[in-house]
Amino acid sequence: MNYKVLINLIISLNSSFIIKIINIIFKKLPIKLNRDSLKFCKKNKIDLDDYLSNLDPNLLTESKNIYNKLIKQSKKKINSFNFKLGGSANCILIYFFSRYFQPKIIFETGVSYGFSSNVFLNAIEKNKTGILYSSDLPYLKIKNSQTAIGCLVDEKLKKNWKLSINGDMKNAMEFAKSNKIIDLFHYDSDKSFLGKFITFNILRNNFSNKCIIIFDDIQTDYFFSYLVKKNNYNFKVFYSKHDMCYQGIIFLNSYENIKN
């Protein structure tokens, strides 16, 4: 299959209905491959705390403190809404990586209440450098869901934040046109092969040659295992105990080894 032709076709159609139909097809066809993705995760997983502690134990403590503080502060705000959005991502991991590698431009998909956005921006504030571009789309079936997007982000942190809520494809295409270079990419939105495939390929030319790429919930489909095998990427798989999900990390050009 010529994937570039498929991506260009989907983008040219620019139809959420067409994408939903293609997603249904993708989800029904590769059942065995989706099962294999969970096997891949279990086979390759390593302990997150051990890995981060070996890099910087003090920073791991700082990361956990930031996360625990956010969880306590978030309850009141989240409970003020009469609907529920998505989860919190692996905030300890993404805060640690943002502080440790100090990326200048971060691009994330999937904001929801803003757990990940909050910790990214806190890291940027600590680093005294960086900007966060966030992509999301309001829940179409939930009235006024856009009012909750990013509600956990403190006002003082918003100076380093660019939020777009037009959906990943439109947001990614708009960013790609800017020719800005991404140093850390965090994907936590559409949990399907096609969703990840499209967004990754729109933005891949914007990745720096030392970009750190993080995919959440890689057990839901086989995109991450397909990606690292196809490109022979240097990768890690972590298991998140608090939400029982797997995160996949790709280090372009062995950036991990440069920092160690």
**Statement: residue 118 has pLDDT above 60:** yes
* Rounded-to-integer distance, Cα 3 and Cα 248, Å: 22
Mean pLDDT of 81-97: 92
Torsion angle defined by CA atoms of residues 35, 41, 44 and 47, in that order, rounded to the nearest 10 degrees: -150
* Rounded-to-integer distance, Cα 107 and Cα 32, Å: 31
pLDDT computed for residue 1 by the predictor = 45
5: confidence class by pLDDT, cuts 50, 70, 90: low
**Statement: residue 260 has pLDDT above 70:** no
- pTM, 2 dp: 0.88
257: confidence class by pLDDT, cuts 50, 70, 90: very low
Identify the CATH class of 18-259.
alpha beta
* Rounded-to-integer distance, Cα 46 and Cα 236, Å: 8
pLDDT computed for residue 259 by the predictor = 44
140: confidence class by pLDDT, cuts 50, 70, 90: confident
**Statement: residue 209 has pLDDT above 80:** yes
255: confidence class by pLDDT, cuts 50, 70, 90: very low
- Distances in Å between the Cα of 77 and the Cα atoms of 44, 82, 114, 118, 128 are 37, 11, 11, 13, 27
* Rounded-to-integer distance, Cα 23 and Cα 251, Å: 28
> Residue 131 burial by CB count (10 A; 0-12/13-18/19+): exposed, middle or buried?
middle
Mean pLDDT of 91-95: 97
pLDDT computed for residue 128 by the predictor = 97
Strands (E), 116-233: 131-135, 161-164, 182-187, 207-216
For 9-43, write each residue's pLDDT tens digit: 655 555 455 555 555 555 554 445 567 888 999 99
pLDDT computed for residue 93 by the predictor = 97
Q: What are phi and psi of 186, to 5 degrees?
A: -125, 115
pLDDT computed for residue 162 by the predictor = 98
Q: What is the residue-averaged pLDDT of the chain? A: 87
**Statement: residue 222 has pLDDT above 70:** yes
Q: 50-57: long-range contacts at Cβ-Cβ below 8 A with a sequence spacing of 24 or more?
A: 51/236, 51/238, 52/92, 52/93, 52/96, 55/96, 55/100, 55/259, 55/260, 56/96, 56/100
Q: Domain limits of the chain?
A: 18-259
pLDDT computed for residue 18 by the predictor = 56
